[in-house]
Structure 1
């Protein structure tokens, strides 16, 4: 497992993950009342936070993309 997510990418992913989790569970917006949208946003938010934490993106690995300095 090689690191392929850089610092800026990591910060953006963590922020997006936190925003999606907030929208899914605490925003009270009508768009997030539907179960599929709420839990879809929650799953994507958790995946974003996990990728930010481990600094390894499987999709980046498939396409050979690296946003970190080596």
Structure 2
């Protein structure tokens, strides 16, 4: 697995993931807040499987 998520993209993914998780815990999303784990995980690992399929590197 090579890194295909750049630094700005990484920060945005981590912030968005934490925001979605927080909305799930403290807000109206409920269990749907677990969707925030996806951008959080891709931001932390710096690897996005969808980017690999589409041939994108940021």
**TM-score, normalisation: structure 1:** 0.76
Which runs of 5 or more residues in structure 2 are unaligned?
Answer: none
Question: Could you tell me how far apart the structure 2 residues matched to 1:47 and 1:9 are?
Answer: 14
Displacement of 1:39 in angstroms is 2.1
Alignment of 1:1-70 (within 5 A): 1-27=1-27, 29=28, 32=29, 38-42=30-34, 44-67=35-58
Q: Output the aligned Cα RMSD.
A: 1.1
Could you tell me whether the CA contact under 8 Å between 2:22 and 2:33 is conserved in 1? no
Which runs of 5 or more residues in structure 1 are unaligned?
Answer: 33-37
Q: Highest Rg: 1 or 2? A: 1
Corresponding residue pairs, total: 58
